[in-house]
Structure 1
Amino acid sequence: MFKEKTFVFWLCFCCLVGVFGDELKSVSVMEGESVTLQINVTELQADDEIMWTFGANRNLLAKTNGDFSKISIHDDVLNGTFRDRLNLDNKTGSLTITNTRSTDSGLYEVTISTSRSETEHRFTVTVTGSSTRPPSDSSDSSDSSDFHYLTVWISVAAAVGFLLLVASVGIFCMCRKQKKTEQQAETREEDITYANPTFYKRNTPKSEDEVIYASVVRR
């Protein structure tokens, strides 16, 4: 009788552990920040085994086989989506994802196996957008930088060309106006008629000193 009660007690206990251990936790994080999925374990035991998976297909992310000095990180799954961004705490079994991206959103599951029981925890992670620019490959960054400089140079060249065009039109108009003014001045000079001066000798009465008397011969 005592054994039957003990068996029922452990069965209920295991069911409760399974129910609460399988509780789904929701975690939200801003894109570019780090997130840690904690399983509320103070310290793992030497014989505990940890296995973290991601997605409906349960892609393996990290695993330990009792020896926490040897942690296997499988960050090459899903075409290297998690490469160099996973960290498994060898004391608590918590999984940390650094530099989060929108593709990190989804279901994460961890299985803790001991010599007496097996416990599972599930997390649904949502990565929301941020005002900062998401990380990109160096090639994309270089291409974007080159395009930016090219756009700046084109804008500067267009502005300089426009100023030169305006200056050329202004100089042309000034030269044309100056030439027209000179032509008008030459036309006025040609219209002027110059007359040669004519001097006339004035007849003045002779004075008595200039009178010549002639002798008269009588017959």
Structure 2
Amino acid sequence: MNPWFSPGFSRVRHRNTQREKKDFNNSTDHLLSNTHLYINMKSALIHVLFLLCATCVFGDADIVETVSAIEGESVTLLSNFTKIQKDDEIEWRLNEKHIAVISGGSITTNGAFRDGLQLDKQTGDLKITNIRTTDSGEYKLNIKNTRGSSVQTFSVKVETDPRSDGVTVVSVTEGDSVILHPDTEILKDDEILWRFREKYDIAKIKKDEDIISTFDDIADGIFRHRLHLNHQTGNLIISDITSKTSGLYEVDIKRRKHIIQKSFNVTITDKQDILSVNEGVDVTLGSGVTELHRDDRVQWRFEHEVVAKVNKTAGIVITFDDVLDGRFRGRLQLDNQTGSLIITHTRTTDSGLYYLDITSDRHVILRKFVLSVCDSCRFPDYVTLICPAFGVAVGILLVACGVSHCRRRRFKQVPRRVIKRSSI
């Protein structure tokens, strides 16, 4: 019998054929499944790329930019356009109420567009100057053109401050140093720009590019070697203040979609309190304020040592009377209402310079006190020489007045003699 035509071989061949057919069908199904998966992935990829392109062109949709400001500051809401095109239509709304529209190169506004609002015709940015609590709300920027449309949303919250006029006043003595605080957390994408008298750029921080610069050669070099910038806080330190470096300082804190502007007015005062007391007498170094506000922070220094602090927000009132080998131990007191420092039972070792710093979001007060404590205070030598001379002069003047008065009385008491002439 031919083995190729045996029944057993036929069964084996049949089984192999069935297996090959099944494998082929499985391969075909797998290929079709992969094809469908590829098509679905391609569609999804195209959709994602479309969304990315739309985001690049129109900005981040459905992302709300949160903006916090203090009453009196300036805030700029950015459109992220460098230049508006002819077919672009820009519309700003506040709490769904129409504010302004830029269309065809012209700007139209309505009653809600108050004097403090400024719309950049070239970029579409909206600037709110001297911001108020009534400016809080949801701002929406609608952008329409032939390529599509998009919406950007800004949630603006303005905190009230009854003392706010938009400018933080800083009073210092000529020759002192001053620190201007932006009072905000510096984020990795932030850009900080400090200006002097609105026209001189004096310092800059751009964290994503590792730029930390001071421009102390501007304005004829009045800031040379006097500017220092803290790259972590953005604080600007100006040393050896003079009349030339006093005036208006502004800082712009630029973030991804908005800019916050703060202003500081640095003034120079000639006031320097000089106190002279006898040893053992209590002395009060006055803060110059009638009542501390809730966000005031007070610090007293003797020479370079901190001797007392007040933090109204944290409820801290503390004296450090153990510093300097405990020379003030048990003799320092703080007035919780005014921040004044009281030194009881003064000693000659208490003589020296005392510095007061009062800082808050709205003002900075810097004062200097010169305290002289002596065992038996007396006038200087020149006063001792002048006093006797002054006494002699007063004595002579009194004697002269007395003589004159006596003469006048005698003159009044002598009767007038009348001489009668006899006729011849």
TM-score by length of 2: 0.27
Work out which of the residue numbers 27, 43, 51 in structure 1 matches 2:275: 27
**Equivalent in the alignment of 1:47:** 295
The one-character-per-residue Cα deviations of 1:38-60 (angstroms, maximum 9, x if unpaired) are 021010001100000001xx101
Inter-partner Cα distance in structure 1 for 2:306 and 2:374: 24
Q: Which amino acid aligns with 1:14?
A: N
Residues 104-162 of structure 1: CA distance to partner in whole angstroms, max 9, x if unpaired? Answer: 0000001000112222100000001139xxxxxxxxxxxxxxxxxxxxxxxxxxxxxxx
The amino acid that maps onto 2:361 is S
**Matched ranges for 1:140-159 at <5 A:** none
Q: Using the TM superposition, give the Cα deviation of residue 23 of structure 1 relative to its aligned residue in structure 2, in angstroms.
A: 3.1
Q: Are 1:73 and 2:319 an aligned pair?
A: yes
* Greater fraction helix: 1
**Unaligned stretches of 5+ residues in structure 2:** 1-115, 117-128, 130-165, 168-196, 199-246, 250-263, 378-424
Cα deviation digits, residues 171-219 of structure 1 (max 9, x gap): xxxxxxxxxxxxxxxxxxxxxxxxxxxxxxxxxxxxxxxxxxxxxxxxx
Q: Secondary structure at the match of 1:11?
A: strand
SS at match of 1:78: helix
Query: Where is the strand percentage greater, Structure 1 or Structure 2?
Result: 2
Match of 1:171 in 2: none
Aligned residue in 2 for 1:184: none
* Higher RCO structure (Cα 8 Å, ≥6 apart): 1
Q: Aligned letter for 2:282?
A: S
Q: How big is the shift at 1:67? A: 4.0
Question: Is the Cα contact below 8 Å between 1:51 and 1:64 reproduced in 2?
Answer: yes
Count of aligned positions:
125
- Report deviation, 1:64: 1.5
Q: Conserved in 1, the CA contact under 8 Å of 2:356 and 2:367?
A: yes
- Pairwise CA RMSD: 3.0
Corresponding residue number in structure 2 for 1:15: 266
- Aligned twin of 1:123: 369
Residues in 2 aligned to 1:46 and 1:81: alpha-carbon distance in whole angstroms = 31
- Aligned-partner SS, 2:284: strand
Paired residue for 1:61, among 307, 310, 317?
307
Q: Is the 8 A contact 1:53 1:110 kept in 2?
A: yes
What amino acid does structure 2 have at the position aligned with 1:127? V
Give, in angstroms, the shift of residue 68 of structure 1.
7.5
SS in 2 for 1:14: strand
Extract unaligned runs of 5+ from structure 1: 132-219
Alignment identity in percent? Answer: 42
Query: 1:96/1:68 Cα in 2 relative to 1: closer, same or farther (>3 Å)?
Result: farther
